[in-house]
Amino acid sequence: MRIDWWTLALQTVNVLVLIWLLARFFFRPVADIVAKRQEQANKLLSDAAAARREAEDVRADADKMRAEIAAERDRLTAEARKAARAENDNLLAQAAQEVAKLRSEADAAIARDRAAAEQAVIGRASELSADIARRLLERLGAKVALSAFLDGLCQELRALPAEASEGFKAAAADQPVEVVTATPLSNAAEERVRAALREVFGASPPTAFHSDAGVIAGIELHGRNTIVRNSWRADLDRIRVELGSEQHRRES
User: Going by DSSP bridges, is the β-strand pair 218-222/227-231 parallel, antiparallel, or unpaired?
Assistant: antiparallel
pLDDT value, residue 85:
85
Is 90 a member of any domain?
no
Query: What is the maximum alpha-carbon separation in the chain?
Result: 203
Helix axes 232-251, 28-140, angle to 10 degrees: 160
Q: Which residues contact 211 (CB under 8 A, 6 or more apart)?
A: 180, 181, 182, 183, 184, 185
Total domains, the chain: 1
Is 6 a member of any domain?
no
> What's the average model confidence in pLDDT over 213-229?
86
Is 237 a member of any domain?
yes
Residue 203 φ then ψ, to 5°: -160, 165
Instruction: Kindly report, residue by residue over 90-129, the tens digit of the pLDDT.
Output: 888 887 888 788 888 877 777 777 777 666 666 666 566 6
> What's the average model confidence in pLDDT over 144-169?
83
pLDDT value, residue 126:
59
Residue ranges making up the domain that contains 238: 141-251
Give me the percent of the chain exceeding a pLDDT of 70.
Answer: 75
- 241 vs 72, higher pLDDT: 72
Give me the percent of the chain exceeding a pLDDT of 90.
Answer: 6
Distance CA 133, CA 238 (A): 16
Task: Please state the separation of Cα 91 from the chain's center in Å.
Answer: 15
Instruction: Kindly report, residue by residue over 165-218, the tens digit of the pLDDT.
Output: 888 888 777 789 999 988 888 898 899 999 998 998 888 889 999 998 888 888
> What's the average model confidence in pLDDT over 8-33?
69
Amino acid at residue number 109: A
Is 114 a member of any domain?
no
pLDDT value, residue 79:
83
pLDDT value, residue 98:
84
Distance CA 209, CA 130 (A): 22
pLDDT at 245 over 70: no
Is 213 a member of any domain?
yes
- CB distance 164 to 225 below 8 Å: yes
Is 75 a member of any domain?
no
- CB distance 181 to 137 below 8 Å: no
pLDDT at 24 over 80: no
Is 80 a member of any domain?
no
Is 148 a member of any domain?
yes
pLDDT value, residue 111:
73
pLDDT value, residue 210:
92
